[in-house]
A and B are shown apart, each in its own frame.
Chain A
Amino acid sequence: MELVCPAGSLPALKAAVENGANAVYFGFRDSTNARQFAGLNFNEKRAAEGVDYAHSHGARVFCAINTYPQPDGWEQWKGAVDRAARLGVDAIILADMGLLDYAANRYPNIPRHLSVQGSATSHEALSFYKDNFDIRRAVLPRVLSLDQVRGVAKHSPVELEVFAFGSLCIMAEGRCYLSSYLTDESPNTRGACSPAKAVRWQETPQGLESRLNDVLIDRYGQGESAGYPTLCKGRFEVEGHVYHAIEEPVSLNTLDLLPELQALGISAVKIEGRQRSPSYIADVARTWRHALDELEAGHDGFTVEPQWQQTLAGLSEGGLTTLGAYHRKWK
């Protein structure tokens, strides 16, 4: 299985490659990718350096252009595909049907990967993208259980990549409009969820409050650790009860599932987190490299070393990890 790591900057890209990533993925410094953060991502010159570095170290490079262009943005998004092609990337990660069509016709020789934002949750959906845009690989949404991944993998017409570690979206990706409901930006339109520009922190007599476009997302008592106010991870009130009504702030960690994912013929495991620091990327990549190497070696079966879990837990939201939807009980 290929280890695919995030690169939000050139130092992060290098950290990923140095610590065992088989492939890295990056986006341009604008709304054309789903991790639009201030100060993050690549201009064309930096991207060229990154592609050179990765290729000279035997790693592949994927370019994510996985948001949805509206008529106003069509030329800009098409331009991003052209730029990725000029850079000689090994694949372009796309979600929008129009853009997939453009890339397939204009650059048939550059492999197309369906982004998780393309929201394909069945082998029929994968066949749609394969038949129409000849995609080579698809990234599966984090909503499927392992049994469901098994079902998809059995009939999949394309290679599959699954999320292995990082922040957890619990909504079907690519079709979640919660962020644009509270702010004016969503992953689909602007590559941003719960955008930083709309976040406000406030010390109050009741505790530290986090707000998104003035909406109270959470309030922390003394001793509670505060997290970024991703709107689905706040504490809300439903019928008089205040709790994490949608989801707790935890990270996805599928280390335990590696043997099963391998048995299903999954081609690649993906690490989330282009917004993370180079040292975070280095730690995560190194840990997963060890795990994958052990898995490949295959002697005495595969056991997850406590050290790996400890490292990953230390890097997770709230220090907590979950198997997410892969684990049926989670539902």
Chain B
Amino acid sequence: MLKLSLGPILWFWSRQTVFDFYANAAEWPVDTIYLGEVVCSRRRELKPDDWLDLALDLKACGKNVVLSTLTLIESEADLRRLRRFCEQDEFLVEANDQSALQVAIRNRIPFVTGPSMNIYNTATLKILAGQGLKEWSLPVELGKETLEQLIRELQQEELDLPAEVFSWGFLPLAWSSRCFTARHYNLPKDNCEFRCLQHPDGMELRSRESQELFRINGISTLSGSRYDLMRELPDMERMGVSTVRLSPEHQGMEEVVRRFDQVRRGEVPASDPLQLVEAPPCNGYWYGKPGMDLIPT
């Protein structure tokens, strides 16, 4: 059966919101939970040790916990926090850039890779497999056809590298040195007043024709439509996908998790729509089309 994972929280939530979220998530039918700040080095409601404590709690609840690293590493301070996650061997680390790969490999700790790690071919997977890679995520812009080929080639190479697919949520599409939330408020990034806390789902960026294009979230830009591959679960299982990643949202997440769980168990047809907060759905990337497209299935 497909495994379900809860990706790292991409938004900036208060400390209490994060603890409450995971207290609930401990009861949800997810197999794996990714913990850690992956977007902005200024988001420190939880310190590395807080994340580690949370990891122990969730592990005690039977969850497989993975510690996620910052996607855009820019300073020595960023590296210090990264090393803190790589100085333990109780949990797997999700490497989200080559800095994390280097530190994990040097410390000989097993790791997985997140969707922002550029893995486009089998040669890349083979290199990382030799260095401790345990599971990998398909980059968000790649689709079903490429994934099928990669899984087939891995089988031919007799490499056991389970694949994870980002399957529900706003797609993380870009990271910058500049902060778009701070820019919106005319604040310098270094003195941003942590305005992201006011936007637990990010800020909608629309075209001048009111088309929802992107979501601004600090230094990151996400898709304006919500990626939803629920209908593809049977296909993913047939292809040999290991894990389906759901990206946390601050409302309605339990309903999302329960529905995906029912679908993976075959209790509910995959085609039953899941209505949540207003945001158009998309699935284009999966079909090799523009990511924002919605291909009827």
Contacts and interface: CB of A to CB of B under 8 A. Distances in A.
Contacts, number: 210
A19 to B, nearest CB: 31
Interface string B62-80: 0000000001111110110
B205 A245 contact: yes
A245 B174 contact: no
Nearest to A198: B290
A163 to B, nearest CB: 13
Nearest to B188: A331
A128 B190 contact: no
Contacts of B74: 121-122, 143-145, 148
Contact of B204 (A68, A148, A234, A238): A238
Contact of A151 (B75, B123, B139, B171): B75
B176 interface: yes
B177 A143 contact: yes
A180 B123 contact: no
Interface of B: 71-76, 78-79, 82, 97-99, 101-103, 105, 116, 118-124, 126-128, 139-142, 146, 149-150, 153, 171, 173-180, 182-184, 188-190, 203-211, 213-214, 216, 221, 223, 284-285, 288-292
Bin chain A's interface residue count: 35 or more
B180 A178 contact: no
Interface stretch (A42-50, A182-190, A294-302): A182-190
Interface in A282-331: 325, 328-331
A203 interface: no
B149 A216 contact: no
A143 B176 contact: yes
A234 B82 CA distance: 35
Tell me whether chain A's interface is mostly helix, strand or loop, or mixed: mixed
A171 B139 CA distance: 17
Given A99-B123, A238-B203, A325-B177, 6 more contacts: A69-B121, A121-B74, A128-B101, A129-B98, A143-B72, A175-B118
A227 interface: no
Nearest to B211: A215
A180 B214 CA distance: 13
Contacts of B223: 181
B290 A171 contact: no
Interface stretch (A3-11, A70-78, A269-277): A70-78
A174 B71 CA distance: 12
22 contacts: A71-B146, A71-B149, A95-B118, A96-B120, A96-B124, A98-B120, A98-B126, A99-B123, A101-B124, A121-B97, A122-B74, A125-B97, A129-B98, A143-B74, A151-B76, A175-B116, A175-B175, A178-B173, A180-B290, A213-B290, A237-B205, A328-B190
